[in-house]
Structure 1
Amino acid sequence: MSGGIPLRSITAVAAISLLALAGFGTVLVFEIPVTADEALHHAENVSDPGEVYLWKCPTSDGSSYTNERLELDIPTHDKSDILRVPTVFVPVPILLVDSEDPCVIQVAEHILSKTEGYSDYLKIAAALYFVQSAIRYTSDQALYGCHEFWASPCETLHFHKGDCEDTSVLLMSILGAMGYDSVLLDYDGHEAVGVRQGDQPAPDYLYCETASDELMKPGFGDSNGVPTVYVPGETSSLMGYANGIVASYRNIIQRVAGT
């Protein structure tokens, strides 16, 4: 994963940037993020994480499915320097897509082993089915105790729960580890995944809805409106900078408030 900028290295820059903008009469509005430790501690208290993942794998002809089982031991991951809430700079959690996470790789290899000889369409469907059936949709408020919390793929796997952002990031990570390109589709109040098909300049995409049991369909889900499309890696530098800015902004507020 391309993690965020260390907090200690950006705090001074954040303070200077905020003061400079204030001097020009600019008003910045941020949603102060909860720390990762606070949110994850809340999730541990309200969840009963397990190592077994039960999921429905499509058959080779796509007419039915088999019940599959995967056991994963999710290690503790230090993701404390990752931006977890949206800001005026970063509207979606695209930076959290991580196809190199060891747990994501295990999931991808498991799915590929169960779909050997399948078409690309059914392999992609299997990844979507895994997320839909092994991860239960849960709001951030219920799981993490805050209005918005962006979970990394390993965190969503650990808790077996997540909202549309978390499950979309997890699916994109799994697909990347399986060798498929995907994009994050940002609608008004909803996230989904588009999986690239073909190598043409204007490739076809499959719309994947991770927050329900909907099947894949061509295009970008027109019923949801026209999405903003985010490609992994294209905005990482900006996100890393905003990550440090927002985290440092929260530290400034804490120091001023004495908390």
Structure 2
Amino acid sequence: MASRSPRTTIFLLLLAVSLPFVCGCTDYGGQGVEQWSSDIPGGEAGDAVFNTPVQSAFTGEDESGTGFALQRIQPVMDGAAATEPRMFPVKFETREYEIDIDVNRSVYEGARTVDKALPAEYWYDEYRMLGYYSSFIGDPAIVTFLDDVLSPLERIRRSDNLNDEEFLELMVTFVQQIPYDSGAPVYPRYPVEVIYDGKGDCDEKSLLLLGMLSRAGYDAALLLFPEMHHATAGIRISTNGNPPFRTFTTSKNEKYFYIETTVPTYIGLYSENYEDAEAFVVPLGNGEKRFTRVNYVCHITESYQKIADRLVFMEATMAEWKQEIEDMKSDLQYGTYDTQDAWDDDYASYTALVGDYNSYVEKYRKYAEIYVYIRDRPYDIAGVYRRIENSNVMDITI
């Protein structure tokens, strides 16, 4: 076959769509993001009781003067309704839920009045940053509120018989599906403000998730990126191998995955700018439960990238073949042949190429179907893994 320049416009899909694995927060201003606080007894919320303490160092400026934290929330009684309902639609695995949360108005109003400013020079002081972020999820009023957030999720856990892994993924996808607020204030809002406002930026949603994970007994960590003035949530992983993307490790060699909260994204994946960024890993709380589906995520992401690469190659190949088919068709219709046999030979070549092309298109469509399925369903890790395996798409030869 003659080699011709490929037409990149030919055929189907969305290869220009960016990977869901590289989305995320890219604002590097003075915004803060996450935190933790000193031992606080478990609180009761509805019909669920969570007894895992939220651990860190401070509630307010510590006595030694070396730490930094926000003042405690002082609930404001303004005569309005005691609570305000908020509802969040959530897709998880094969189901859709409505998560109903009653927000304590007095705690919300009190949280709004707290001065959340953070001196810029504190970003390289791990101790002060821990104190600052601890304030957002370790404040006694927020600890109680976090139990209110967990209560409807705990009911789903019981009704659907979710294990610890599935419950972790439910919490993550719940926070990821809270609408992103591109106009968020400079300094982070408390979790109660995020739920009441029904939106948050990456830092604020990460704080909410960190609080939830710790209260539910998971080994979570604050990941600090001082050069970017950014912090996010991390979850400890159980693995003996080396994932194909970055893990964040403590001095004790404890490994944590990054959790992107901006939009639904597979656990462990992050924006490219975090690949080599300096990071501090600060474990929080006393939780012991970990993320165990590391191999699932690795298989999903590796399959996704291989499929994406193959789709690009196949699209170029199909463009070249289609052009050749059009040229052969034109020759057959309007060309001059010395003999019928010569025309018959070209026609046979034409029909063979059309057959090869159509077979190639079918393979392309199978790849594209799985590509889209992986891209659009980060809230169903186990289901996506099974779909890849059952499709045998990685066995297709091109």
Q: CA deviation at 1:214?
A: 0.7
Give the Cα–Cα distance (whole angstroms) in 2 for the partners of residues 81 and 56 of structure 1.
Answer: 30
Whichever residue aligns with residue 131 of structure 1, its letter is V
* Number of the residue aligned with 1:231: 283
Give the Cα–Cα distance (whole angstroms) in 2 for the partners of residues 86 and 111 of structure 1.
Answer: 36
Cα pair distance change 1:216/1:99, threshold 3 Å: farther
Correspondent of 2:192 among 126, 149, 154: 154
Deviations 1:178-216 (A, max 9, x none): 111211223325432111245996444333111121121
Q: Superposition pairs for residues 29-48 of structure 1, below 5 Å?
A: none
* Number of the residue aligned with 1:65: 95
1:52 aligns with 2:76: no
Deviations 1:86-112 (A, max 9, x none): 421246552222385222111112212
Does structure 2 retain, via aligned residues, the 8 Å contact 1:51–1:74? no
Correspondent of 2:133 among 94, 109, 134: 94
Listed as ranges, the gaps of 5+ residues in structure 2 are 1-36, 38-57, 66-82, 241-251, 286-398
Does structure 2 retain, via aligned residues, the 8 Å contact 1:156–1:167? yes
Secondary structure of 1:185 counterpart: strand
Does structure 2 retain, via aligned residues, the 8 Å contact 1:128–1:210? yes
Percent identity, please: 19
Listed as ranges, the gaps of 5+ residues in structure 1 are 14-48, 234-259
Query: What is the alpha-carbon root mean square deviation over aligned residues?
Result: 3.7
Does structure 2 retain, via aligned residues, the 8 Å contact 1:3–1:81? no
Give the Cα–Cα distance (whole angstroms) in 1 for the partners of residues 207 and 187 of structure 2.
Answer: 13
Cα pair distance change 1:229/1:105, threshold 3 Å: same
Does structure 2 retain, via aligned residues, the 8 Å contact 1:109–1:178? no
Give the Cα–Cα distance (whole angstroms) in 2 for the partners of residues 86 and 230 of structure 1.
Answer: 20
Correspondent of 1:207 among 258, 262, 265: 258
Secondary structure of 2:210 counterpart: helix
1:4 aligns with 2:60: yes
Does structure 1 retain, via aligned residues, the 8 Å contact 2:99–2:152? no
Secondary structure of 1:115 counterpart: helix
Cα pair distance change 1:65/1:151, threshold 3 Å: same
Give the Cα–Cα distance (whole angstroms) in 1 for the partners of residues 275 and 219 of structure 2.
Answer: 22
Does structure 2 retain, via aligned residues, the 8 Å contact 1:52–1:72? yes
1 or 2 for the larger relative contact order (CA 8 Å, sep ≥6)?
A: 1
* Number of the residue aligned with 2:153: 111
TM-score by length of 1: 0.58
Whichever residue aligns with residue 121 of structure 1, its letter is E
Does structure 1 retain, via aligned residues, the 8 Å contact 2:153–2:171? yes
* Number of the residue aligned with 1:137: 180
Secondary structure of 1:66 counterpart: strand
- Count of residues paired in the alignment: 187
Does structure 2 retain, via aligned residues, the 8 Å contact 1:53–1:71? yes
Give the Cα–Cα distance (whole angstroms) in 1 for the partners of residues 282 and 188 of structure 2.
Answer: 16
Deviations 1:226-246 (A, max 9, x none): 43223347xxxxxxxxxxxxx
Secondary structure of 2:170 counterpart: helix
Whichever residue aligns with residue 194 of structure 2, its letter is T
Does structure 1 retain, via aligned residues, the 8 Å contact 2:59–2:139? no
Whichever residue aligns with residue 5 of structure 1, its letter is E
